Structure 1
Amino acid sequence: MMGKTNVDWVEMSDKAIIGAIGAYIRHQRLEQNKTQAQVAEEAGINRWTLSQIENGGSITLATLIQILRVLDLVHLLSIFTIEETISPIEYARLKEKEKKRARPKIKANDSNGDLGW
């Protein structure tokens, strides 16, 4: 039987979220067949710290990034990308200013009809 797959992060306590992050790290580490010692060494932390994190202990943002980097999961942080949006009114103003047709440039020294041959 399959458990609840959609996690309601808003209703979770901070401690529960930290526990879920630790469980995710453990799951990903095991999926990649890496030991705690391997991940800890590559992340520049000690194995005990990684063990604590996987068991729901608190984690600093810097440590989380180090672990995600070792597990090749840094792409998960893309959710924090800021995308600039433009309002429909500003977009309409920009479209108004857009060129509607091309006009040839007239050179100042060509006004006497000399073709330069």
Structure 2
Amino acid sequence: MTEQSLQESGALALIGERISRRRLENNLTQAELATNAGVSKRTVERLEAGESTQLSNFLRILRALDLLDGLEALLPAVPPSPIDQLKLKGRQRQRASSSREPEAQPRAWTWKDAS
């Protein structure tokens, strides 16, 4: 396993554990949560076990547990900087640009016949 997949599996396990705790705090069975969220019971079981699920199902479960507002803390809106606002003249940026290599420094001028 790669380091990245270990980190992902750890994050999925942590999310599953927290979903499970929140469900139990709300005194809901997995079946009740699934019904409230509009997903299958198996989806709730997979999520709580730290397995992957579709993002739309994850969001439905968060909504059913009244946790959807927490996404604002996870992914806050990033306003453009004042300089970017001036450059874009009120438009929103649509594309990322590739990183530009710094231009090579010109060599110092020398006399051709200098040794």
Range into which the TM-score falls when normalised by the shorter chain = 0.5 to 0.7
Answer yes or no: is 1:81 the counterpart of 2:48: no
TM-score (norm 1): 0.60
Aligned counterparts of 1:55 and 1:19: Cα–Cα separation in 2: 7
**1:59: which partner in 2?**
53
Counterpart residue type for residue 19 of structure 1? A
Q: 5+ residue gaps in structure 1?
A: 1-9, 91-117
Aligned counterparts of 1:47 and 1:71: Cα–Cα separation in 2: 15
Aligned counterparts of 1:64 and 1:47: Cα–Cα separation in 2: 13
What's the Cα RMSD here?
2.1
Q: 5+ residue gaps in structure 2?
A: 86-115
Deviation at 1:53, TM superposition (A): 1.2
Count of residue correspondences: 80
TM-score (norm 2): 0.61
Residue of structure 2 aligned with 1:39, choices 10, 33, 42 = 33
Aligned counterparts of 1:49 and 1:59: Cα–Cα separation in 2: 7
Aligned counterparts of 2:77 and 2:43: Cα–Cα separation in 1: 32
Aligned counterparts of 1:54 and 1:42: Cα–Cα separation in 2: 16
Counterpart residue type for residue 62 of structure 1? S
Deviations 1:39-76 (A, max 9, x none): 00111111122112101111221111000000000011
Deviation at 1:81, TM superposition (A): 3.0
Deviation at 1:87, TM superposition (A): 4.1
Task: Using the aligned pairs only, state the percent identity.
Answer: 32
Aligned counterparts of 1:73 and 1:14: Cα–Cα separation in 2: 21
Aligned counterparts of 1:80 and 1:13: Cα–Cα separation in 2: 19
